[in-house]
Structure 1
């Protein structure tokens, strides 16, 4: 799941209402966007860690807003979010267990999906709510996060004793995930052109390049940010978006947990939309 947006009471009610027993054997992949309120983020981490066997997490853009955090920039906020997640037992680096590798990918947008127009520059909240050190450009921010991913890949490979990111066995499953959209063609054709102005800030094609470094017989990539739920296979990777979204977004968001792999067989997520 992604885009829980706990600033909304309806979304907080859904989180607290999740069973404390039903998911004790399950792994949750949480692709970011809780809130820029650190207290809400901490409450979210505590709740999820108590309900699931493992929780994997990457921050979203809303998590890095610093409008409530005087004297803090968005990179500071990013690293503070990772520490807070780790303090509650959430995993933010690649992890392999029981034949499944889960690979978190940090990211941002770099305009590889198009140049921002006047409407986007005037309306996109990140431009006002994020503060980057040394006036970093979106491309430089993306490159910073991509380097963090590469460093995490190297640590994982060294820990696993393998060469590169090839899965040790042919039947392994690799599930990579990012908050940001990894390629623009995962966006469905039914999206009205009036919303296309937002496409430049959806993600980065470089994320897809990093996801494709992981070699396995079955590969999935979970992403968020767009708030448009999706399940589609492109070039042998299954892309899944399961955003909770804003309270009004019932037409494009499932607003429920979605099983993408049950440990034995492909789940319903492997049926393309």
Structure 2
């Protein structure tokens, strides 16, 4: 029995769908789907239809793409309302969503509480001293304009930073109550700014997380921290904790000839082959 992770499926791209249909069944294993399945409920339904028969259990956290405003069965949904609707979609399918009771991993290396998080970002990963407007302007100097600025509605919060702060506060309170086991922390956005590795678009940093979670791997007893968003698959070690970036990414970012199974990241038990040296 193994726990796997894969994020940034972006199934709106035909090539990604064609790749994912060849993912091998692992009927005894669990899969964390780490956000950015796509932009709509239909994209999530397609992915769940594909993945549920192949894994014993699916766990999901949202990325920014799922939270983009979209038409869902004739209703325009964005912000917290869309997150709630996607949570209901997960419950109807038996998928564990971000605001459900966190599951405990019972397999090898367990028990571990799998903390499913949706912490967003607050522009704090931009250079020090920049507010939101300054961060956006700094990124634009290098030609970086985030689609979130026009497609991600923070309602009912006044802005994304306020929504992020509320999610961080709620998650911290849940984690304080969940001290019975070590944790696997799962969040679409990386929890630390020193994990940002995006050489293609280095000034995309403002939309990549919040400094509020910099020490969560120590504070909340993490054995592994799982994230996506950056589309740069890698393993890092900080303070003896393994950090896994597990993106599939866009077709142009994928390695030619690489099979779907190779994109899965083994989370538990700890794999025998790791991709980067500890630091």
Shift in Å, 1:140 = 0.5
Cα deviations by residue, 1:131-180 (Å, 9 ceiling, x for unpaired): 222452222011122234235436xx4xxxxxx5152xxxxx53211100
CA distance in 1, matches of 2:88, 2:139: 32
Alignment of 1:82 with 2:87, yes or no, is yes
- Conservation of the 8 A alpha-carbon contact between 2:157 and 2:163: no
CA distance in 2, matches of 1:174, 1:103: 7
Point out where structure 1 has 5 or more consecutive residues left out of the alignment: 158-163, 168-172
Shift in Å, 1:262 = 4.8
- How do 1:222-237 residues align onto structure 2 when only pairs under 5 Å count? 222-237=226-241
CA distance in 1, matches of 2:157, 2:220: 33
Shift in Å, 1:208 = 3.9
TM-score by length of 1: 0.81
CA distance in 1, matches of 2:89, 2:247: 22
Shift in Å, 1:41 = 0.9
Alignment of 1:14 with 2:19, yes or no, is yes
- Conservation of the 8 A alpha-carbon contact between 1:106 and 1:148: no
CA distance in 1, matches of 2:81, 2:152: 11
CA distance in 1, matches of 2:216, 2:87: 20
What is the aligned-residue RMSD (CA, Å)?
2.6
Greater fraction of residues in strand: 2
CA distance in 1, matches of 2:32, 2:82: 21
* Equivalence for 2:3: none
- How do 1:137-176 residues align onto structure 2 when only pairs under 5 Å count? 137-150=159-172, 152-153=174-175, 157=177, 165-167=179-181, 174-176=183-185
TM-score by length of 2: 0.80
- Conservation of the 8 A alpha-carbon contact between 1:105 and 1:207: no
CA distance in 2, matches of 1:105, 1:152: 10
Point out where structure 2 has 5 or more consecutive residues left out of the alignment: 1-5
